[in-house]
């Protein structure tokens, strides 16, 4: 079996398109990917404006498709399957990718496959030059999700713990916003934190000693707000310290809970996926802690931590290759703005 899979991501504020080749046995290969980020467009509003996001996906998706075809020298009629993000995400934005995928599928008379966005993140480390092997513990830290999982194979995901309120990405974004760092806050906050003292402010480490693998970040955001208010006019001068202290609190909880998941499961391998996985401090601390325990850590390539089409094409390739799912010719596209990962587990 050799399949050429076109992947389309449009769940939020990035349009991503990619081509992946699945040859049957080995890990599928990324041939090309192209991305357009809407960050600049949404920056003026301090966050994603869903209607603007949908309209921009419409503008970008076909030129990006042409770009990956051009880069690989392949023609559209060489594509065997069109994969798209079916959910979770913004309904209108998802509909653009689903609509284009189904239209292409119908026009080319080839099957389509709706992919779970978080499964895309989860499997994105397989796109790296040092792909993991099953089984592993996964720390999935995207803008809206923070979950620890035991992953035994494609579709075999057991959630060990998750956030009971805000996600780690939200804690970064909301803290950054109240410090006036704009959107998206995570990268801005972590850049500023490089110049700050992480011990300057004592911030809570929620649920650190709860004994389970759940997270809670809403209280941390409130503590950052209280601290910012206390500082008043001084905030401008102490912003880097507050950013560093906030980042340290979030990262400490993520690292300690991941280590606890490794201890509890006896696993020797961990995979970090999702946008927050791009955070340098998280990588440094997790790498150091895992090196001590002789645990292997895998990350997606930095450019593939945040949303992209490559992870969608890859997840589709791995699902098809493992026999977990078949692509279909039912072009009645339905998207799932809310879609728990458990729903696709076997």
Q: Which of 16, 92, 114, 275 binds ligand KG4 (CB under 6 A)?
A: 275
List the interface residues with ligand KG4, window 59-118 (CB under 6 A): none
List the interface residues with ligand KG4, window 276-295 (CB under 6 A): 276, 278-279
Task: Tell me whether residue 56 or residue 307 sits nearer to Zn ion (CB atom).
Answer: 307
Q: Which does 185 bind (CB under 5 to 8 A by kind): ligand KG4, Zn ion, none?
A: ligand KG4
Tokens of 182: 């704009």
List the interface residues with ligand KG4, window 173-212 (CB under 6 A): 173, 184-187, 190
Q: Which does 169 bind (CB under 5 to 8 A by kind): ligand KG4, Zn ion, none?
A: ligand KG4
Residue 107 region by backbone torsions, left for phi larger than 0, else alpha for psi between -120 and 50, else beta:
alpha
Tokens of 42: 């949404």
Cβ 121 to Zn ion, closest distance in Å? 6
Backbone angles phi, psi at 296, to 5 degrees: -80, 135
Rounded-to-10 torsion of CA 184, 47, 19, 71: -80
Strand ranges across the sheet with 136-141: 156-162, 146-153, 136-141, 269-273, 296-298
Cβ 22 to ligand KG4, closest distance in Å? 24
Q: Which of 111, 144, 155, 337 binds ligand KG4 (CB under 6 A)?
A: 144
Q: Which does 120 bind (CB under 5 to 8 A by kind): Zn ion, ligand KG4, none?
A: none
Task: Tell me whether residue 16 or residue 132 sits nearer to Zn ion (CB atom).
Answer: 16
E strands present in 226-314: 269-273, 296-298
Cβ 308 to Zn ion, closest distance in Å? 9
| Residues binding ligand KG4: number (CB under 6 A) | 19
Q: Which of 10, 15, 85, 142 binds Zn ion (CB under 5 A)?
A: 142
Cβ 308 to ligand KG4, closest distance in Å? 8
Task: Tell me whether residue 166 or residue 307 sits nearer to Zn ion (CB atom).
Answer: 307
Q: Which does 279 bind (CB under 5 to 8 A by kind): Zn ion, ligand KG4, none?
A: ligand KG4
Q: Is 120 an interacting residue with respect to ligand KG4 (CB under 6 A)?
A: no
Stretch that binds ligand KG4, among 50-58, 165-173, 196-204, 234-242 (CB under 6 A): 165-173
DSSP conformational letter for 101? H
* CA–CA distance, 45 with 265 (Å, rounded to integer): 43
Cβ 167 to Zn ion, closest distance in Å? 11
Residue by residue, DSSP assigns 176-239 as HHHTT--SSHHHHHHHHHTTS-TTSS----TTTTSSSS-B--HHHHHHHHHHHHHHGGGHHHHH
* CA–CA distance, 93 with 168 (Å, rounded to integer): 23
Tokens of 294: 């002789």
Asked whether 61 and 96 are in contact (CB, 8 A), the reply is: yes
Task: Tell me whether residue 5 or residue 278 sits nearer to ligand KG4 (CB atom).
Answer: 278
Tokens of 24: 């049957």
Core vs surface per residue 50-78: b (16+ CB within 10 A) or e: bebbbbbbbebbeebbebbbeeeebeeee
Q: Which of 99, 105, 132, 143 binds ligand KG4 (CB under 6 A)?
A: 143
Q: Is 307 an interacting residue with respect to Zn ion (CB under 5 A)?
A: yes
Task: Tell me whether residue 65 or residue 306 sits nearer to ligand KG4 (CB atom).
Answer: 306
Name the 3-class secondary structure at 8: strand
**Residues within the interface to Zn ion (CB under 5 A):** 142, 307
**Residues within the interface to ligand KG4 (CB under 6 A):** 121, 142-144, 169, 172-173, 184-187, 190, 274-276, 278-279, 306-307
């Amino acid at each position: 079996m050799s399949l050429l899979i076109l992947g389309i991501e449009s769940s939020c504020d990035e349009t991503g398109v990619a081509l992946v080749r699945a040859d049957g046995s080995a890990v599928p290969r990324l041939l090309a990917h192209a991305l357009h980020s809407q960050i600049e467009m949404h920056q003026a509003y301090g966050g994603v404006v869903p209607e603007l996001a949908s309209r921009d996906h419409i503008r970008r998706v076909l030129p990006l498709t042409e770009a990956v075809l051009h880069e690989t020298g392949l023609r559209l009629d060489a594509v065997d399957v069109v994969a798209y993000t079916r959910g979770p995400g913004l309904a209108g934005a998802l509909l653009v990718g689903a609509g284009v995928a189904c239209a292409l599928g119908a026009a080319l008379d080839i099957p389509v496959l709706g992919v779970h966005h978080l499964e895309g993140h989860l499997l994105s480390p397989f796109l790296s030059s040092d792909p993991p092997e099953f089984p592993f513990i996964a720390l999935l830290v995207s803008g809206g999700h923070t979950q620890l999982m035991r992953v035994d194979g494609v579709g075999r995901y057991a959630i060990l713990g998750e956030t009971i309120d805000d996600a780690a990405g939200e804690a970064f974004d909301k803290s950054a916003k109240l410090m006036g760092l704009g959107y998206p806050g995570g990268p801005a906050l972590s850049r500023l934190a490089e110049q700050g003292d992480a011990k300057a402010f004592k911030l809570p480490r929620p649920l650190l000693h709860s004994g389970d693998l759940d997270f809670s970040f809403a209280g941390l955001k409130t503590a950052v707000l209280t601290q910012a208010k206390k500082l008043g006019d001084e905030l401008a001068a102490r912003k880097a310290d507050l950013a560093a202290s906030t980042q340290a609190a979030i990262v400490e909880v993520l690292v300690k809970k991941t280590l606890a998941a490794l201890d509890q499961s006896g696993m020797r391998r961990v995979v970090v996926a999702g946008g927050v996985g791009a955070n340098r401090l998280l990588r440094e601390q997790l790498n150091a802690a895992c090196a001590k325990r002789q645990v292997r850590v895998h990350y997606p390539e930095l450019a593939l931590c945040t949303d992209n089409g490559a992870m969608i094409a890859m997840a589709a390739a791995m699902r098809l290759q493992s026999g977990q799912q078949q692509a279909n010719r039912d072009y009645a596209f339905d998207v799932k703005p809310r879609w728990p990962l458990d729903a696709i587990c076997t």
